[in-house]
Amino acid sequence: MLGINTITLFAALSAPAQAGPNSAVTHELNWELDSQMVSDDNWSQISWTDAVNTIGISGGYGINRNLTLMVGLHHRKYVNDTYIYDFDGEDPTTSFSATQLSVGPKYSVELKSWLRPYATAQAVAWMGTLSADEDLDEEENLNELSWSAFAPGIKAAAGFDIIPLKVGKVEVATHMDFGYGAALNLEFTDENGRIGNGKTGASVGNLNLNGFHVNWGVGIHF
Amino acid sequence: MKMKIPSLVTLLSLGCVVENSNEIDGLLWDTEVVATTDGIYAALPHSGALVRIQDNNTYKVIDLNGAEPVRMVTTPDGSKALIFARWPQCTNDNEDIVDVSDCDEDELEWNAELVVVEDGVAGEPINIPGHMNALAFTEDGSKAVAYLDYSEDTIIEISGIVDLSEVVIIDLEGDQTQNAVSIGFSPDNILFNADGTKAVILSRSKVVLVDMVSFDVLVEFPLVLDADQTVNPSGAVLTEDGTKVLVSVSGSSDMYVLNLEDGNYSIDMEELSGAPADLAVAKSTEQTLVVYGSLAQVDFVDNSSGDLQPAQTIDLDEPVSSVLMASDFAVLYNNAGGDYYDVVKLDLDTTEDHELRVENPIHSMQMSESEQYAVAVLRPEDSWGGGLSQYADENWGLAVINLIDGEEEVISLVVESQPVGVELIEDTDASTTYALVLMDGVDSVLKIDLARPSAYTEVELEAPPVGIGALPDATGFYITHESALGLISFLNPANNEITTAHGFAVVELLDDDTLPRREGEEE
């Protein structure tokens, strides 16, 4: 019995896609605000908020009426005028930019014509760039520095789509989901520096982006 | 129904850049660096790290096992850096306390240690009392004495008990053994004999002779007979043969002559003409020169007998407060803050004096290695005259003093701003001496030919300089700059080429204040 139900479920998920808003399959395109909570104390050096708030777009390719392959790209840059106590010279400007690429399936069901709850699990790649500049007015000054880091991770969330408006074959939708994201640390190292036996770059710092996750967006389904 | 949808670009760019401000508690790097033969060592107060910087713009983070550098000195030969360091420990064992900021202030203790760093590698830490902040070295740098150099703004952190009569003798070679010796209250002046086998340590009302091999106290010289009396040594010199130490006392014309010869220890007292401002040993004549900040004269003390030689007293036109000693002459000048302008070149053999005069009062002076020139930094003064004289009075200046026999003269220069660093270098190829001068707020270093002071070369710098120092291997000089993220220039005086090392202060820019060396846990 369990085996038959499993086969049935798999067959349903794999059903070929069909076009149109009232048909089984929808593609989608969204503009989103993505908020990844950060519990790392180091984050306080970058922002007074408790989360990395990024803005971006996501797109979904409908595989069947319930299953959509989602791809998302989000970005935000934080720029800080950094005040250094006891320093009489010109204070530097520091910045941190975060780019998040996500890909993974989204499974939704149609409770009502206007309400579709869903669950999603996606692989995530964080790309962070930490920068410091002593003199913004001088291009390529000696201490215009930046370091990049990459961290893979995952996120899982559950939420719902609300479709308030249908215009022909296009549905205007808004969505919100809540979940949890986990990723390896973003580790920033300076290759001019060495530590220990001299084989590892000097650590500029690291950020841990694990925590609760909220996503909100508006878009179209078609 | 018509609905306007904002363009995708507008939506995407909306709020993509967040502008904010943040604060960093403490400097990213301390410009009070030290130079060794393997590089420049700099402390990074914000991250608590120590880095070694080299002129190819690379740096190495030195592993101090969780300790942070507080103060740094180098051995006389520049081969090692000695780091006064401390590391935090929380007396609360709660496992939730991970960072320094998690620990209550009254539960946070700081442990002090001294670390010897050589070739970028830190040795085993040497435990020393936390209040000690200075080192005196034997001439060969093999041994050192740690003590407290106390000034009014020094903060002594007390953990338990602090013994202010203690010094720690450290063997810097081999096992780096150390031995604490109680000397007397506030020991702060330490002299070594030529071979480093004995140390004379001065403290309040007492002078102690210590054997640097066995760490034993050989003899204690009380400077008072009555325990109700106290005397504070103001200066001391050791004679060339190491048999006597002459000790002057604050606010008194008394000078103690201590005989250090084995089996013949004794104390004698000599009455000087007044409270001395400086003592200097003249090796060529086996005498000690004594100058007084308030008396216009210089006295001589015979080193073999310890007796004042009143017959040799030389009267001067103005009081002098400092002595620069050369091989066969001395340069006397006044930098005690008064309005005095005389610089006297005193021939030690003939006692003939040659009087020179600078334009403004002297702030500091140094002599070249060749002993042919001296350079003085002249400070501004109140002006009562007019014209060029007033102009010179109101500005900082430099005095180039020619000390060559028969060519003695002073050339006074006016400089753009206060000199923040002066270094003298000998150019043996060109047979001349140069002065490297840094000025406050000026992005260049002046290289002045002391034989022709008006001819100078200006070498551009990347940023305003803070200080200058010589590299121990005599390959050039380093210049520190007012730069938040770290900037040191390396100057090759042979060709005036500048290389820079920069950006080294970014280590742990994102603060990581994890408590190190938790008890019972591995690092």
CB contact (8 A) between residue A80 and residue B20: yes
Contact between B378 and B397 (Cβ < 8 Å): yes
Mean pLDDT of B36-51: 95
**CA B159, CA B108: separation in Å to the nearest integer?**
10
Q: Which region among A60-74, B3-17, B353-367, B472-486 has the lowest average model confidence (pLDDT)?
A: B3-17
pLDDT digits (tens, 9 = 90+) for B221-236: 988 888 788 888 888 9
**CA A125, CA A181: separation in Å to the nearest integer?**
11
Mean pLDDT of B461-467: 92
Q: Which region among A43-57, A99-113, B319-333 has the lowest average model confidence (pLDDT)?
A: A43-57
**CA A210, CA A191: separation in Å to the nearest integer?**
26
Contact between B393 and B387 (Cβ < 8 Å): no
Question: For tokens 């070929």, what's the residue?
Answer: A16
**CA B329, CA B343: separation in Å to the nearest integer?**
13
Q: Mutating which of B1, B5, B11, B24 best tests the A interface, going by the most A Cβ atoms within 10 A?
A: B24
Query: Any CB–CB contact under 8 A between B213 and chain A?
Result: no
Nearest to B485 among A85, A145, A203 (CB): A145
CB contact (8 A) between residue B8 and residue A31: yes
pLDDT digits (tens, 9 = 90+) for B283-331: 999 999 999 988 999 999 999 888 999 888 999 999 999 999 999 999 9
CB contact (8 A) between residue B59 and residue A194: yes
Which positions in chain B touch A145 (Cβ < 8 Å)? 485, 503, 506
**CA B240, CA B223: separation in Å to the nearest integer?**
23
Query: Any CB–CB contact under 8 A between B18 and chain A?
Result: yes
Question: For tokens 């008194």, what's the residue?
Answer: B252
What is the DSSP annotation of B118-168? Answer: ETTEE---EE--TT--EEEE-TTSSEEEEE----TT-----SS---TTEEE
Query: Any CB–CB contact under 8 A between B503 and chain A?
Result: yes
Mean pLDDT of B84-108: 87
Contacts of A134 (CB under 8 A, 6+ apart): A90, A92, A141, A142, A143, A144, B483, B484, B485
The per-residue pLDDT for B272 is: 92
**CA B100, CA B88: separation in Å to the nearest integer?**
7
Contacts of B250 (CB under 8 A, 6+ apart): B231, B232, B233, B234, B275
Contact between B309 and B328 (Cβ < 8 Å): no
Which positions in chain B touch A88 (Cβ < 8 Å)? 482
The per-residue pLDDT for A16 is: 40
pLDDT digits (tens, 9 = 90+) for B352-405: 999 999 999 999 999 999 999 999 999 999 887 788 888 888 999 999 999 999
Q: Taking 60 as the threshold, does the pLDDT of residue B13 lie above it?
A: no
Count of positions (residues) in chain B: 523
The per-residue pLDDT for B407 is: 92
The per-residue pLDDT for B506 is: 93
Residue in chain B nearest A54 by alpha carbon: B16
Contact between B143 and B169 (Cβ < 8 Å): yes
CB contact (8 A) between residue B507 and residue A31: no
Mean pLDDT of A122-148: 90
In B70-129, the residues whose Cβ lies within 8 Å of chain A are 99, 101
- Quote the minimal CA–CA distance from B119 to chain A in Å: 12
What is the DSSP annotation of B267-305? Answer: EEEEE-SS--SEEEEETTTTEEEEEETTEEEEEEEETTT
Question: For tokens 């780096």, what's the residue?
Answer: B176
Cα separation values, B340 from B276, B344, B359, B363, B415, Å: 17, 12, 10, 11, 20
**CA B206, CA B417: separation in Å to the nearest integer?**
45
Q: Taking 90 as the threshold, does the pLDDT of residue A198 lie above it?
A: no
Q: Taking 90 as the threshold, does the pLDDT of residue B52 lie above it?
A: yes
Model confidence at A19, pLDDT cuts 50, 70, 90, reads very low
- Quote the minimal CA–CA distance from A19 to chain B in Å: 23
Show the tokens assigned to B163: 């013994």
**CA B278, CA B257: separation in Å to the nearest integer?**
16
For residue B107, the 8-state DSSP code is G
